[in-house]
Amino acid sequence: MTRKERYESAREMYAKIGVDTEKAMEILKDLPVSLHCWQGDDVTGFDHDGPLTGGIQTTGNYPGKAKTPEQLMADMDKVISLIPGKVKLNLHASYAIMEPGEFVDRDKLEPRHFAKWVEFARKHNIGIDFNPTFFSHDKVKDGLTLSSPDEETRNFWIEHGKACIRISQYFAEETGIPCVMNIWTGDGFKDIPADRMGPRMRYKEAIEEILSEPYDYAKVKPCVESKVFGIGVEAFTAGSAEFALSFAATHPGKCMPLMDNGHYHPTEVVSDKIPALLCFFPEIALHITRPIRWDSDHVVLFDDETREMAKEIVRNNALDRVYMALDYFDASINRISAWTVGFRSWQKALLMAMCTPNEMLKKLQDENRMTELMVMQEEIKTYPFGDVWAEYCQRCGVAGDNSWFEEVKKYEEDVLLKR
């Protein structure tokens, strides 16, 4: 059978259970998913020489890491040529591009420092998401930024946040696509604190100050990302889950919560949290990653929890309410491949969720036909999803199988190993 024939046969099988594979592909191909620039250079950025701090860590020393904006952009061009669907660029403030000899600290960053990224986005006809960088900087004082008891420190980082709001507004205006601006700090303590509320009150007030910078919520979408712990801040993080959710809930029309599925206790699942939040928040944001035992930020795979998260977005008709962004960084393997596998995995998860007879399954649940529900859920696991995926990739002009990896090997030889 040819690929086309295989797809036709799959399409018929899915149609019999009420799934429209054509519609699924149509929707998915235009659905933006944010691709994080930081996989390409191990979260280093261009504005400092220091180490990566803030409770996050990359491990590995695979050759070919991008060291300049040009290299990072070339690498992202390569990735974009290998993945189906619609990309959005996700940038951190530390990826500012200065003029030669120029140094501007983070509190003084301006839109012009990101003009080259806007050019990049224009070239690909995509939007940009943004993140203030509250880590890897000498003004992180005793592990604290926005929650620091030191006013000067706090103000520096508040000014950084405000600068980032202005830059986000610039991105939205230049691209015509809203910019999701995510606030995450690694603020916390290694050991048992004597005051948990003080840092959180300072954090709350600092975010409020950042959000007092004027912006249009239709264009700039600030989020607050929570985290349970980080390396070196095991005992306490200021931006805990309850903190971030409560902040977002009490500032409607100003910001939304962001859940990173690496940021919870290992038996908690974000797939279950998505529908809970959707009951209350008009919009939410996600960082999609793969935690192994902790927030290890491994490459996203087409695994059970990834699929479950995609299902919750799709079957609750929330594709226009959930901002999806990848967030992981593996320095131990080819970085182009890491990006590509992760993006393709999330695309697969979304496509599979769309190729699931969600209405029929919900009905079985509502009629308490739980035995049948189990049988049906097991049945569709072996439906010919691979044939739909191959067709989707073909229509997007990329390889439907692993032949894209040949391109990566060639790029490694021709470009990465020469760096």
Nearest approach, Cβ of 295 to ligand RNT (angstroms)?
5
Residue 106 touches which of ligand RNT, Zn ion, none (Cβ within 5-8 Å per kind): none
Report 253-282 residues binding ligand RNT (CB under 6 A).
260
Whats the size of the chain, residue-wise?
419
Of 103, 92, 88, 105, residue with least CA distance to 52: 92
Half-sphere exposure of 67 (CA within 13 A, CB side): 8
Please list the residues that pair with 225 across neighbouring strands: 258
Nearest approach, Cβ of 269 to ligand RNT (angstroms)?
17
In the bound state with ligand RNT, the residue whose beta carbon lies nearer, of 56 and 350, is 56
Nearest approach, Cβ of 106 to Zn ion (angstroms)?
19
DSSP, residue by residue, 379-393:
HHTTS-HHHHHHHHH
In the bound state with Zn ion, the residue whose beta carbon lies nearer, of 167 and 259, is 259
Nearest approach, Cβ of 260 to Zn ion (angstroms)?
4
Of 402, 413, 396, residue with least CA distance to 31: 396
Active-site residue (options: 42, 47, 159, 327): 327
Is residue 187 near ligand RNT by the rule CB under 6 A? no
Residue 237 touches which of Zn ion, ligand RNT, none (Cβ within 5-8 Å per kind): none
Q: CA 20 from chain center: how many Å?
A: 28
From CA 347, how far away is CA 350, in angstroms rounded? 5
Nearest approach, Cβ of 377 to ligand RNT (angstroms)?
31
Q: Which residue has tokens 């992202």? A: 76
Of 66, 71, 76, residue with least CA distance to 128: 76
DSSP, residue by residue, 130-179:
EE---SSSTT-BTTBSTT-S-HHHHHHHHHHHHHHHHHHHHHHHHHSS-E
Nearest approach, Cβ of 372 to ligand RNT (angstroms)?
40
Q: How many residues bind Zn ion (CB under 5 A)?
A: 3
Task: Please name the residue ranges forming H helices in 231-369.
Answer: 241-249, 270-278, 304-315, 335-354, 358-366
327 is catalytic: yes
From CA 114, how far away is CA 123, in angstroms rounded? 14
With contact defined as beta carbons under 8 Å apart, do 298 and 330 qualify?
yes
Stretch that binds Zn ion, among 110-118, 189-197, 282-290, 379-387 (CB under 5 A): 282-290
414 is catalytic: no
Is residue 184 near ligand RNT by the rule CB under 6 A? yes
295 is catalytic: yes
In the bound state with ligand RNT, the residue whose beta carbon lies nearer, of 199 and 400, is 199
Residue 306 touches which of ligand RNT, Zn ion, none (Cβ within 5-8 Å per kind): none
Report 309-348 residues binding ligand RNT (CB under 6 A).
327
DSSP, residue by residue, 404-419:
HHHHHHHHHHHTGGG-
160 is catalytic: no
Report 123-152 residues binding ligand RNT (CB under 6 A).
131
387 is catalytic: no
Is residue 225 near ligand RNT by the rule CB under 6 A? yes
Report 260-279 residues binding Zn ion (CB under 5 A).
260
Provide the binding-site residues for Zn ion, judged by CB under 5 A. 260, 287, 327
Catalytic residue IDs: 184, 225, 227, 260, 263, 287, 295, 297, 327
Provide the binding-site residues for ligand RNT, judged by CB under 6 A. 38, 43, 56, 131, 184, 225, 227, 260, 287, 295, 327
